[in-house]
Every structure is written in C-alpha cells, then in structure tokens.
Chain A
C-alpha cells in the first residue's frame, strides 16, 4: 500500500513553454502533498506544501507564480512550471502524507524536467 505515482517520469520542453507534472496517491487519500526539487548529486529541497482545497504554502525563495500548485482532490496534486527556462531543469519529486506526521510521507518516483 501507500503508492505514489508521478506523471510524466521524464519531459523535455522548450524555453518559454509551461509543463504540468501530476502527483497521485494511488491507494490512499492524502490531505497533504509536498513538492521537492533535487539538483544532480544534491539533496531534496522542499518547494511547497500542498493541502487539498487550499492554497499551497511555498518555501522562502520559491516563486509561487512560476511554480503553480493545485491540490484539487485528496489523491491528486499538480505542479505547473510556467514559462520554463533552462535553469528550471531539475528532478522534481512529490510526496503524499497518509496522516499528519512527517514519517507518514510516501514519495513518488520523480519527474526529470529538461528545458532546452
């Protein structure tokens, strides 16, 4: 149980276009989902916390107009990278909570975004 999927797993887009990444909890309802960004050989940096039905809470330094997060249901959160630039190229990972504690997070397989 507690499976989280991400789609797509890999995407290449041109500069200036927008890309949407989906995060789904497949066998549980997630009141909270998290979006992380990971640079090569680096750690995960939390970008935002997403609660179903409310606005996402962004970490300091993360542009909310650039990284749009929508948590429309208890099983789906989306991250849209708007007007993507090459510096947005990264590995994006989502996680979903089965409860209210941090250790109840389950991680998706990640999405590799390359902006050309």
Chain B
C-alpha cells in the first residue's frame, strides 16, 4: 500500500503557539485518523474524521478534511511542552479489504518551554 505524506516532517515551536500539521493521501477513503506517538512508545488515538465530515474538534485539537484535495490538517492550539511527540495520520481506504490502516510519514513536533 502507498504511504501518505505529511508535512512538515519536523516542526519546532514555542509553548503557547499553535502547531499545524498536514497530511495528504492517495486513495479514496472512508475515514482518516490522527495518532500521537511519544518517543519509543505505542500510538495513541487522537481523533477520527469521516469522509463526509469537513471539520472536527476535540479539546485543543482541530482536524479538517478536504477529500477533493485528498488532504487533512491537524491543528493543536496553545501548545504545551507535553505535546512534543510524533503525529501520524492514518486512512481507512475504500478499496482496502478488512480493516487496514495506511499511515502517513509523520510529523515530529517539538514544543519548547
């Protein structure tokens, strides 16, 4: 399966600033999810957005989805040092069988105190 792309690959900001990460994918999807991974750890599910949704909020997270451009963005507002982690998008394709996820390359976010 093809991997999606995320940009930027690395992002360094100051505490309190907003962080925006983008994800592009190649196939038609049922839904897209964002995950967080602390260094050397497993994945934590952040938010899911379905293909018929354009925007979703959860606390300080805001996710948008543009299926015409096959892209999504994750915005973290008022960032904290504890938000430092890698962030991945993952898509459930319409064509894939079963329940497979295809992951993007990830963005390494560093929030400096």
Establish whether residues B92 and A103, one from each chain, have CB atoms under 8 Å apart when the complex forms. yes
CB of A27 within 8 A of chain B? no
Q: Which segment, of A68-76, A80-88, A106-114, faces chain B?
A: A106-114
Q: Which segment, of B36-44, B57-65, B74-82, faces chain A?
A: B36-44
Seen from chain B, the residues whose Cβ lies within 8 Å of a Cβ on chain A are 1, 3, 30-31, 33, 35, 40-45, 48, 86, 88, 90, 92, 96, 98-106, 108
Number of interface residues of A (CB under 8 A): 29
**Closest B residue, CB atoms, query A108:** B42
Partner of A42, one of B1, B42, B105: B105
With contacts A46-B1, A103-B31 taken as known, whether A93 is within 8 angstroms of B105 at the C-beta atoms is no
Give 1 or 0 for each of A91-116: 1 = CB within 8 Å of chain B CB: 10101010111111111111010000
In this complex, the member of B1, B43, B100 whose beta carbon has the largest number of chain A beta carbons within 10 angstroms is B43
Q: What is the CA–CA distance of A109 and B30 in the complex, to the nearest angstrom?
A: 26
**Closest B residue, CB atoms, query A51:** B98
Query: CB-CB < 8 A to B45: which residues of A?
Result: 106-107
Establish whether residues A105 and B42, one from each chain, have CB atoms under 8 Å apart when the complex forms. no
Seen from chain A, the residues whose Cβ lies within 8 Å of a Cβ on chain B are 4, 6, 32, 34, 41-46, 49, 59, 91, 93, 95, 97, 99-110, 112
Establish whether residues B98 and A105, one from each chain, have CB atoms under 8 Å apart when the complex forms. no
**Closest A residue, CB atoms, query B92:** A102
- Interface residues of chain A: helix, strand, loop or mixed (majority): strand
Establish whether residues A43 and B106, one from each chain, have CB atoms under 8 Å apart when the complex forms. yes
15 A–B contacts, CB within 8 A, in A order: A34-B101, A41-B106, A43-B104, A44-B43, A49-B100, A95-B43, A100-B99, A102-B90, A103-B31, A103-B92, A107-B42, A107-B45, A109-B42, A110-B40, A112-B40
Q: What is the CA–CA distance of A110 and B40 in the complex, to the nearest angstrom?
A: 8
Establish whether residues B42 and A44, one from each chain, have CB atoms under 8 Å apart when the complex forms. no
Establish whether residues A32 and B105, one from each chain, have CB atoms under 8 Å apart when the complex forms. no
Establish whether residues B40 and A91, one from each chain, have CB atoms under 8 Å apart when the complex forms. yes
Q: What is the CA–CA distance of A44 and B101 in the complex, to the nearest angstrom?
A: 10
Query: CB-CB < 8 A to B90: which residues of A?
Result: 102
